[in-house]
Amino acid sequence: MPLVRHSKAEIVVFGERPVINLENVAYSYGGGELLSDITLKLQPGSFHFLTGPSGSGKTTLMKLCYGALTATSGQVTLFEEDVRGMSRDDLALIRRRIGVVHQDCQFLDHLSVAENISLPLMVSGRDDLKQSANLKELINWVGLSPRAGALPPELSGGERQRAALARAVIMSPDVVLADEPTGNIDWEMSQRLLRLLIELNQMGRTILIATHDLALIRAVKTQVQARVLRISKRRLHLAGADL
Amino acid sequence: MSLRASLVHFIAGDPQAARVVPPTGFTVWLTLFSAAAMAFLAVFALALSLATGRLAERWGSELARSSTVRISAPAGQMAAQTETALKLLKTTKGVARARALDADEQSALLEPWFGPGLAIDALPIPQLIEIIEEGEGFDAMGLRLRLAAEVPGAVLDDHTRWRRPLVQAAARLRLLGWLSLLLIGGATAAMITLAAKAALAANAQVISVLRLVGARDSYIARAFMRRFTWRSFIGAVLGVALGCGAIAMLPAADPGGGFLTGLGFQGLHWLIPLIIPPLAAFAGFVATRGAARKTLKEMP
Ligand SMILES: Nc1ncnc2c1ncn2[C@@H]1O[C@H](COP(=O)(O)OP(=O)(O)OP(=O)(O)O)[C@@H](O)[C@H]1O
Ligand SMILES: [Mg+2]
């Protein structure tokens, strides 16, 4: 039986239990509150954009969504488990179900691009032959085949973002959180990466993308049903239909 | 995870895992160097313990037959004086046995000086009586006085008795050798702990990437443990090789040699230093495991 809920941020959701659920969450880095009273429910299979001025807290909100930060108040549940009660090991298992593209794309600089992309497989012990075929295909998909053997410091900004996206999706995670994944990428390549995310979404994956790029949002909205969330004045709003 | 379980997991686990830790940084050299230096010292401590052990044993057994009575008397009185001296010795407290050496034994003692085939009867050589002590030994002063009174030609020679405190010292020295080995092991573990902590702190970014992609802390800890265990082992192998080489190059020990020339390994004892690298590796394993668990727990 699908539920209907009215959250404080007026985000009305239908369907099953949310995979990521923030309830009245506030966060501060020590000074004043950066985010206040945030309620966000990401239903399985939903596609969301997150926008807002620079410094409004998009990255911070993303970090709350994968347990890298702990809310100063309110409740965060990931796959129906409260982050506060999680051990480090629980969190590690959750991270395998959430693919993250960091805004500043960190890699292990002493390993090749291909090894970095397959890192999630490696650390979860799924580093087998069957996966290596997928790995090649994926590297090809993001257009990094010629750079697969390079070291991350040798990559351009756009190449780093593509590698980060490939690393985020290689485990075929339930949720993909991408922070400015197309910041340094030309229009054509960003369309291509978005297709990958849209395909994942059509396979039932949950997607949340933080971006400033309104053209990108419009392009996606012609292909899938996507909601646009906006952070302003410390709160989360559902953006109007004009986007 | 218990130490045993984590050791098994460590040995059986994915050897690729160590690669997620960068192979560079000053901690590589710190670990290699301290393991090598400590293994080098351990070889000497080991050699010291074994050598003092041998020395104590040898001196100890020499002590048991350390004294002799020498009787110089005109040919006619020799037998009578020897008889008296033996009787006297039998009633002396601290003497287990006293025995007059026969002609063959005496000529064997003289052979190094005069060569074989010595016609001993033709020479006016003194008669020797070997004394085997028991318990605390005899009172040398009292025995001398009694001998002087009853056997005019007798001289008590207890020249090796001065070694008695030295045997005790040698035993003590051996104990100190073993203690040094323990201290060296402890210092190695402490240094590797520091090196591992420094490496973990220097690789905070690596750790955050690994956590981002879903690595458990135990996986991260194992990666560091592999690196450090391996480095401790390699360092210790180098140190042992150098230490053994240095000992092999010490001047050759003559069999009855003094203390310094006796420092070294004999025969199968050369194999004993081979246990140092595995022990160093184990120390590295335990030290890094402790450091990694603690540091990872404290990292945000
Ligand atoms: N670790 C931190 N400690 C203290 N303040 C921080 C920290 N990280 C971020 N901030 C501050 O919090 C605010 C929000 O940062 P955040 O990175 O979430 O913004 P953002 O919306 O992602 O910005 P952008 O669009 O530029 O990426 C900023 O003012 C930033 O300076
Ligand atoms: Mg940001």
Average confidence (pLDDT) over A200-206: 91
Nearest to A177 by CA among A231, A111, A101: A101
The sign of the CA dihedral A14, A19, A22, A28 is: negative
H-run or E-run covering A232: strand A227-232
Residue B261 has pLDDT above 60, yes or no: no
Question: B51: Cβ–Cβ under 8 A, 6 or more apart, which residues?
Answer: B259, B262, B263, B264
CA distances from A90 to A60, A87, A116, B101 (A): 21, 5, 23, 85
* Residue A206 near residue A197, CB atoms below 8 Å: no
Ligand closest in space to the Cα of A58: 1
Amino acid occupying residue A106: Q
Residue B40 has pLDDT above 90, yes or no: yes
* Residue B283 near residue B185, CB atoms below 8 Å: yes
Q: What is the pLDDT of residues B209-236, one digit of tens each?
A: 999 999 999 899 988 888 889 889 999 9
Question: A80: Cβ–Cβ under 8 A, 6 or more apart, which residues?
Answer: A17, A21
Average confidence (pLDDT) over B69-74: 87
Residue A190 has pLDDT above 50, yes or no: yes
Question: B159: Cβ–Cβ under 8 A, 6 or more apart, which residues?
Answer: B66
pTM for the model:
0.74
CA A68 to chain CA centroid, nearest Å: 13
Q: Which two tokens stand for residue A31?
A: 């000074």
**Chain B residues inside the 8 Å CB shell of A68:** 212
Decide which of B56 and B71 is more confident: B71
Q: What is the pLDDT of residue B171?
A: 79
- Asked if the C-beta of A224 comes within 8 angstroms of chain B's C-beta atoms, the answer is no
**Chain A residues inside the 8 Å CB shell of B14:** 125, 127
**Chain A residues inside the 8 Å CB shell of B212:** 68, 95, 100, 102, 106
Q: What is the pLDDT of residue A3?
A: 34
Measure the CA–CA gap between B188 and B167, rounded to whole angstroms. 31
Residue B11 has pLDDT above 70, yes or no: no
Q: What is the pLDDT of residues A28-57, one digit of tens each?
A: 998 889 999 999 999 999 999 999 999 999
A53 Cβ inside 6 Å of ligand 1: no
Q: What is the pLDDT of residues B81-93, one digit of tens each?
A: 899 999 988 888 8
Average confidence (pLDDT) over A99-110: 89
Average confidence (pLDDT) over B53-72: 76
Question: B31: Cβ–Cβ under 8 A, 6 or more apart, which residues?
Answer: B191, B192, B195, B196, B228, B231, B232, B235, B284
Under the banding of pLDDT at 50, 70 and 90, the label for residue B65 is low
**Chain B residues inside the 8 Å CB shell of A96:** 213-214
Are A109 and B22 within 8 A, CB to CB? yes
Residue A207 has pLDDT above 90, yes or no: yes
Nearest residue of A to residue B215 by CA position? A123
Amino acid occupying residue B88: L
Under the banding of pLDDT at 50, 70 and 90, the label for residue B15 is low
Residue B161 has pLDDT above 70, yes or no: no
Percentages of chain B per state (helix, strand, coil), in multiples of 5: 70, 5, 20
A161 Cβ inside 6 Å of ligand 1: no
| Helix segments in chain A, DSSP class H | 58-65, 88-95, 113-117, 119-123, 129-141, 157-169, 187-202, 214-221
Under the banding of pLDDT at 50, 70 and 90, the label for residue A184 is confident
Q: Which of A91, A123, A131 best tests the B interface by mutation, with the highest count of B CBs <10 A?
A: A123
The torsion defined by the Cα of B111, B117, B123 and B129, in degrees rounded to 10, comes to 50
Q: What is the pLDDT of residues A62-72, one digit of tens each?
A: 999 999 999 99
Quote the mean pLDDT of chain B: 83
Residue B55 has pLDDT above 80, yes or no: no
Are B22 and A110 within 8 A, CB to CB? yes
Q: What is the pLDDT of residue A4?
A: 36
Measured between CA atoms, how close is B24 to chain A, in angstroms?
9
Using DSSP, state whether A77 is helix, strand or coil.
Answer: strand
Q: What is the pLDDT of residues B122-147, one digit of tens each?
A: 677 888 888 887 777 788 888 888 88
Q: What is the pLDDT of residue B66?
A: 66
Bridging pattern class, strands A206-210 and A47-51: parallel
Question: A206: Cβ–Cβ under 8 A, 6 or more apart, which residues?
Answer: A19, A20, A42, A43, A44, A45, A46, A47, A174, A175, A176
Q: What is the pLDDT of residue A9?
A: 43
For chain A, give the percent of residues with pLDDT over 90: 52
Amino acid occupying residue B82: T
Pocket test for ligand 1, best of A56, A161, A177 (most atoms within 8 A of CB): A56
Residue B244 has pLDDT above 80, yes or no: yes
Q: What is the pLDDT of residue A13?
A: 47
- Asked if the C-beta of B16 comes within 8 angstroms of chain A's C-beta atoms, the answer is yes
- Asked if the C-beta of A132 comes within 8 angstroms of chain B's C-beta atoms, the answer is no
Measure the CA–CA gap between A89 and A229, rounded to whole angstroms. 31
The torsion defined by the Cα of A94, A96, A98 and A99, in degrees rounded to 10, comes to 160
* Residue B100 near residue B82, CB atoms below 8 Å: yes
Average confidence (pLDDT) over A198-202: 90
Are B215 and A125 within 8 A, CB to CB? no
How far away, in angstroms, is A133 Cα from ligand 2 center? 33
Q: What is the pLDDT of residue A127?
A: 67
Selecting from A68, A92, A109 the residue whose C-beta is nearest the C-beta of B214 gives A92
* Residue B202 near residue B25, CB atoms below 8 Å: yes
Lowest mean pLDDT among A117-131, A208-222, B168-182, B194-208: A117-131
Average confidence (pLDDT) over A209-218: 89
Are B214 and A100 within 8 A, CB to CB? no
Residue A163 has pLDDT above 70, yes or no: yes
Average confidence (pLDDT) over B263-291: 87
Q: What is the pLDDT of residue A125?
A: 81
Ligand 1 atom 31 nearest Cα? A55
